């Protein structure tokens, strides 16, 4: 009978190893293709209505600059990584182009390592610091520090100006989507419908989406459990980064 405690400990240790291996695989593997449906008040950019909006709006300079640089996030927690790479490449036009692997220079990894991001993602502040580490100027705003009207005005101006980019950190559930907090760049703003075009870097899951400005603001005005602060947005431009 004395051997049962030893067997039990071996079983527990084995289960822990298997569980740890499963978590590691989940964090480091490519996300599966799902193509989930959007909530009724969201408009996919690929629909006839979504196409009409993008054709008529003037505040779409970022859409034209970012789309050639966008690739889907390569890991489940890499939304901030994919967003950063697209914006840095669009702003600086480096050769060779930055990738989701080469983003983690020594300066960027000092903010948060590739492995840590794979398991836990990025807070708004960490995202800002990683982009700054690549030589861009970043203005960070938590939703609690601002309001919808200010955000709408800033977005309208930024998206009509070259080399100025907007990245949003928002709660998917508030948009009627599956998943926790998410990060993606914004490509355009349409005054007539008061919608912003979120260039979702999880393209395997959701398309580029026109989101009503009040709804996107509500999704940003939620608390990130990792930072204990509200989510928000970054305004990114070429120039000397603020350290």
Q: What residues are labeled active site?
A: 79, 182, 200
Long-range contacts of 103-109 (CB under 8 A, 24+ apart): 103/130, 103/134, 105/133, 105/134, 107/133, 107/134, 108/133, 108/134
Beta bridge partners of 196: 189, 211
How wide is the angle at C-alpha 129 spanned by C-alphas 127 and 132, nearest 5°? 110
DSSP letter assigned to residue 234: E
The size of the chain, in residues, is 243
> Do the Cβ atoms of 237 and 91 come closer than 8 Å?
yes
Q: How many CA atoms lie within 13 A of 73 on its CB side?
A: 29
Quickly list DSSP for 49-104. HHHHHHHH-SB-HHHHHHGGG----SSTT-HHHHHHHHHHHHHH--SSPP-TTTT-
Alpha-carbon distances of 44 from 38, 182, 199, 208, 230, rounded to whole Å: 8, 17, 10, 6, 27
């Amino acid at each position: 009978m004395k051997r049962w405690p030893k067997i039990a400990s071996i079983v527990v240790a084995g289960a822990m190893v298997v569980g740890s291996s499963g978590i590691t695989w989940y964090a480091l593997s490519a996300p599966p293709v799902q193509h989930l449906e959007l909530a009724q008040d969201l408009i996919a950019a690929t629909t006839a209505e979504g196409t009409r909006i993008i054709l008529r709006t003037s505040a779409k300079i970022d859409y034209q600059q970012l789309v050639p640089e966008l690739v889907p996030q390569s890991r489940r927690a890499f939304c901030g990584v994919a967003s950063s790479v697209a914006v840095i490449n669009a702003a600086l036009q480096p050769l060779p182009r930055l990738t989701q692997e080469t983003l983690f220079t020594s300066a960027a990894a000092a903010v948060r390592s590739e492995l840590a991001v794979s398991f836990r993602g990025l807070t708004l502040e960490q995202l800002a610091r990683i982009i700054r580490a690549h030589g861009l100027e970043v203005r960070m705003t938590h939703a609690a520090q601002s309001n919808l009207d200010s955000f709408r005005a800033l977005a309208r101006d930024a998206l009509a100006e070259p080399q100025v980019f907007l990245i949003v950190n928002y709660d998917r559930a508030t948009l009627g989507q599956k998943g926790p907090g998410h990060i993606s760049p914004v490509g355009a703003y349409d005054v007539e419908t008061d919608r912003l075009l979120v260039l979702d870097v999880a393209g395997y899951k959701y398309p580029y989406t026109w989101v009503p400005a009040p709804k996107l603001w509500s999704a940003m005005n939620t608390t990130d459990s990792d930072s204990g602060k509200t989510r928000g947005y970054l305004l990114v431009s070429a120039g000397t980064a603020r350290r």
